[in-house]
């Protein structure tokens, strides 16, 4: 017999056997079986798995229940939950048992063993050590990633945090983050290895996937290698009665508090104590199930908070009302936050971690919804249909947390005890035993993340809500967002971030006026190239909060818009990041211009006093000056001026010329500066930073609104300056520290002050010169205060703001008796 004939005969015999098995199981068509997909079952099943995937919401509507299951030898019943009344689920619980599916081991413990383990822990009431539970490592990791990348990836960070918490709950040990990352990576591979594959639906193809078994064995070896040391350390700790010297790991939970402590004592009927293989399997399942479902829920919740800023602010206000701006949300606190609970419940409803509950199998032939369920058939409940049913939910496709406060979800019970309208944890006797713990993790993590940061979408890359299946239903494209700190944290909390910031800024010599957080940074700076938006927005927040803390009421910020085509950065997107940062400030009220005020209704004296004594929310007027870098071309300078004109409504008041004073020619920038002045923009020039009489004379003849520094003037330049009465911006500290001026006594400030020449006292960056506006005032005391109070007309602001500032200074002068 030819080989081809033999193979054909073998295949024909195989199909005949499978067909006979299918015919005998289904009763030869004599019973009222649920309707299934048309066509030959083996082929249709392969088509469904390949084409639809496990999360296709249309399969149940199109085909109804499917008895053809994962193979002819074990038929399956797909139950679309909205087609069957609640009694069907009760009935199914009586005649079905939960399958002990292979998930984390090659054989897996018996179902009754898993049930006993689930009932023994982990205890949701366990309080973790403060180092693990307070959440600061998670927030610090987010901030560090944002510093390096410009944004954060939610799923990866949440998985790592929840995994570390669950490792602590399971083994009672605190381990290093590097070790946690290794365990999390291995367990993630285990999780993905056990998701449904084609042989699960067509077991006849299993021999063709022998290489998968080899991969599984190698993965199992790595899994044991990761977790067995923790297991043995904990066993030694328990046997010693809690002696920390017996364990190489740092134990943070007392004896009896860790999940595995209860497993050491578990002895299923007819079996002895559990072996290491079984203990690793049970702990792996607990860690994996809790990690992925909780992290997935947090990611979906943040998706909606990122795309709906009003909803995010409402949640933030609730958190602040409960714990304050500088507090930390605890387990007791989240129970007092109804809107947080509503957001989490709506996330469970709209994005359940799984579309199916765990598989069940009929122990005997029974009827369900009028159909016959064969004995030993798989029963799969597609619970997502309940949450998508318009007869149960108004506008089910919308994400609306308020429905759980005043709408159709007020009386909904996620456990399904009263009514099954959602089942994120399953229902009945087989409900998830860690439901309370998982919900607590989601609430705490979400509360702390929103409390610490404002989450905004990455411009040009909005979040993609497309679903994908990876053990749970996740976002196909993981959520990435920009985070902006809600308030300045203690330096010790984010010491690494502060150090990076100071190194980044302080590494470049600065001869800038006022505060110019990124104009001093060359385009080749690695952090700047990676993601400028986050860094720029974050720095603007810090700048404003620093000045507001010193009771500054008017602030001009200068920044140089930069273009970098290699990372898709335009001058406009750069400035949008600046404005984004200013708008994100929430510790003070930031006025970016175009105030709806009138001269007839200035601030009254009582409101001014309250602003100054701290009893009212501080307000700071901020105006932006776009700087022309002396390395730019005429065309590039003109582009910046036009951008300034387009953004005047966002607080842009004028143009500044700055940069390396020995680079570039004055004539290069003159056309752009002339155009800016013609269009009504204020002009200020960095002038006389180095000896260059010809350029200094040309700048003075241009008659700018102000000049900066004026450190290297000759007699002729001083004469012309005083003759033209051009106001001078003075930065005492930076002039002395850069040795442009040898001492304060020799500073030209003294001569200009005595001549009553118009001046404005300014400050450079604290990260470079270790000074502040208060530090500048200390140098000259009351003279500086009087100087500012009499020079308000020199500010690049409108008359309304100047009038408000006059009243503030007059009020302060009376209090200071000046």
Per the annotation, binding residues for heme are 432
Q: Cβ distance 794 to 758 under 8 Å?
A: yes
**Who's near 290: CB < 8 A, 6+ residues apart?**
162, 166, 434, 437, 438, 441
Q: Which of 545, 639, 689, 717 is catalytic?
A: 689
Binding residues: 432
Q: Cβ distance 362 to 379 under 8 Å?
A: yes
- Is 218 designated active site? no
**Residue among 688, 611, 672 at smallest CA distance from 638:** 672
Q: DSSP assignment, residue 356?
A: B
- Which tokens hold the place of 118? 């689930």
**Residue among 406, 425, 391 at smallest CA distance from 293:** 425
**How many CA atoms, within 13 angstroms, populate the side-chain half-sphere of residue 369?**
20
Helix-strand-coil split of the chain, %, nearest 5: 50, 10, 35
Q: What is the dihedral angle through the alpha carbons of 202, 208, 210, 211, rounded to the nearest 10 degrees?
A: -110
Give the relative orientation of helices 773-780 and 782-789 as an angle to the nearest 10 degrees: 110
Q: Cβ distance 156 to 295 under 8 Å?
A: no
Q: Cβ distance 253 to 178 under 8 Å?
A: no
Q: Pairing mode, if any, of strands 467-470 and 472-475?
A: antiparallel
Q: What is the dihedral angle through the alpha carbons of 743, 744, 745, 750, rounded to the nearest 10 degrees?
A: 140
652 burial class (0-12, 13-18, 19+ CB within 10 angstroms)? buried
Question: From the centroid of its chain, how far is CA 175?
Answer: 24
Q: Distance (Å, rounded) from C-alpha 538 to C-alpha 391?
A: 46
Q: Cβ distance 533 to 581 under 8 Å?
A: no
| 3-state SS, residue 128 | coil
The 3-state secondary structure of 313-346, one letter per residue: HHHHHHHHHHHCCCCCCCHHHHCCCHHHHHHHHH
Q: Distance (Å, rounded) from C-alpha 188 to C-alpha 104?
A: 11
CB atoms within 10 A of CB 395: 11
**Who's near 355: CB < 8 A, 6+ residues apart?**
54, 55, 57, 382, 383, 384, 473
Active site (catalytic) residues: 689
């Amino acid at each position: 017999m030819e080989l081809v004939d033999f193979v054909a005969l073998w295949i024909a015999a195989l199909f005949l056997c499978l067909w006979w098995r299918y015919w005998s199981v289904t009763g030869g068509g004599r019973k009222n079986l649920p309707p299934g997909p048309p066509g030959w079952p083996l082929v249709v099943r392969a088509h469904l798995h390949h084409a639809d995937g496990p999360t296709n919401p249309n399969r149940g509507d199109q085909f109804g229940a499917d008895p053809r299951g994962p193979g002819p030898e074990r038929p399956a019943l797909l139950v679309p939950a909205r087609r069957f009344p609640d009694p069907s689920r009760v009935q199914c619980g009586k005649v079905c048992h939960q399958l002990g599916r292979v998930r984390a081991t090659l054989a897996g413990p018996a179902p009754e063993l898993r049930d006993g383990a689930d009932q023994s822990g982990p205890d949701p009431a366990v309080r973790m050590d403060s180092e693990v539970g307070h959440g600061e490592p998670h927030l610090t990791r987010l901030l560090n990633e944002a510093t390096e990348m410009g944004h954060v990836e939610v799923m990866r960070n949440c998985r790592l945090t929840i995994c570390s918490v669950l490792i602590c709950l399971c083994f009672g040990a605190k381990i290093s983050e590097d070790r946690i990352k290794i365990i999390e990576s291995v367990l993630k591979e285990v999780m993905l290895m056990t998701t449904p594959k084609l042989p699960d639906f067509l077991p006849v193809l299993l021999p063709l996937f022998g290489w998968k078994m080899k991969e599984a064995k190698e993965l199992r070896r790595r899994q044991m290698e990761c977790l067995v040391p923790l297991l043995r350390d904990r066993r030694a700790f328990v046997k010693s009665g809690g002696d920390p010297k017996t364990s190489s790991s740092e134990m943070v939970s007392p004896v009896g508090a860790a999940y595995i402590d209860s497993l050491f004592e578990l002895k299923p009927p007819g079996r002895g104590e559990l072996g290491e293989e079984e203990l690793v399997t049970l702990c792996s399942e607990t860690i994996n199930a809790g990690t992925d479902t909780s992290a997935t829920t947090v990611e979906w919740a943040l998706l909606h908070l990122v795309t709906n800023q009003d909803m995010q602010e409402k949640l933030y206000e609730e958190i602040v009302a409960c714990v304050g701006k500088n507090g930390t949300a605890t387990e007791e606190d989240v129970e007092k936050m109804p809107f947080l609970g509503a957001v989490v419940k709506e996330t469970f409803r709209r994005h359940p971690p799984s579309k199916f509950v765990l598989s069940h199998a009929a122990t005997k032939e029974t009827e369900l919804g009028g159909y016959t369920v064969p004995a030993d058939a798989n029963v799969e409940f597609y619970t997502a249909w309940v949450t998508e049913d318009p007869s149960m939910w108004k506008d089910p496709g919308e994400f609306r947390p308020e429905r759980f406060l005043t709408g159709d979800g007020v009386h909904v019970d996620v456990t399904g005890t009263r009514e099954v309208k959602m089942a994120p944890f399953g229902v009945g006797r087989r409900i998830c035993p860690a439901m309370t713990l998982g919900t607590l993790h989601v609430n705490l993590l979400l509360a702390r993340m929103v409390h610490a940061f404002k989450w905004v979408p990455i411009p040009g890359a909005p979040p993609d809500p497309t679903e994908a299946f990876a053990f749970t239903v996740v976002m196909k494209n993981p959520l990435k967002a920009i985070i902006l700190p809600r308030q300045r944290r203690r330096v010790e909390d984010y010491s690494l971030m502060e150090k990076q910031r100071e190194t980044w800024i302080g590494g470049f010599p600065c001869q800038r006026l006022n505060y110019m957080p990124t104009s001093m940074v060359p385009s080749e700076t690695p952090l700047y190239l990676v993601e400028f938006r986050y860094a720029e927005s974050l720095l603007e927040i810090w700048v404003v909060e620093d000045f507001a803390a010193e009771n500054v009421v008017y602030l001009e910020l200068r920044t140089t818009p930069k273009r970098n085509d290699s990372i898709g950065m335009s001058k406009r997107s750069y400035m949008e990041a600046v404005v984004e940062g200013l708008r994100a400030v929430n510790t003070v009220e930031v006025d970016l211009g175009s105030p709806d005020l009138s001269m007839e209704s200035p601030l009254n004296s009582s409101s001014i006093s309250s602003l100054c004594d701290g009893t009212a929310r501080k307000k700071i007027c901020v105006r932006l000056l776009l700087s022309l870098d002396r390395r730019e071309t005429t065309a590039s300078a003109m582009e910046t001026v036009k951008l300034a004109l387009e953004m005047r409504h966002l607080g842009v008041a004028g143009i500044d010329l700055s940069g390396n004073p020995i680079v570039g020619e004055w004539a290069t920038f003159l056309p752009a500066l002339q155009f800016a002045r013609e269009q009504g923009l204020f002009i200020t020039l960095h002038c006389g930073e180095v000896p260059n009489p010809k350029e200094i004379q040309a700048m003075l003849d241009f008659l700018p609104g102000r000049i900066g520094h004026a450190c290297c003037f000759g007699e002729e330049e001083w004469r012309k300056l005083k003759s033209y009465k051009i106001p001078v911006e003075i930065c005492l500290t930076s002039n002395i520290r850069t040795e442009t001026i040898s001492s304060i006594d020799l500073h030209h400030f003294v001569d200009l002050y005595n001549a009553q020449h118009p001046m404005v006292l300014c400050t450079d960056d604290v990260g470079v010169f270790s000074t502040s506006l208060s530090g500048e005032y200390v140098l000259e005391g009351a003279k500086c205060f009087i100087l500012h109070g009499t020079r308000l007309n020199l500010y690049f602001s409108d008359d309304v703001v100047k009038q408000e500032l006059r009243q503030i200074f007059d009020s302060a002068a009376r209090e200071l008796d000046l």
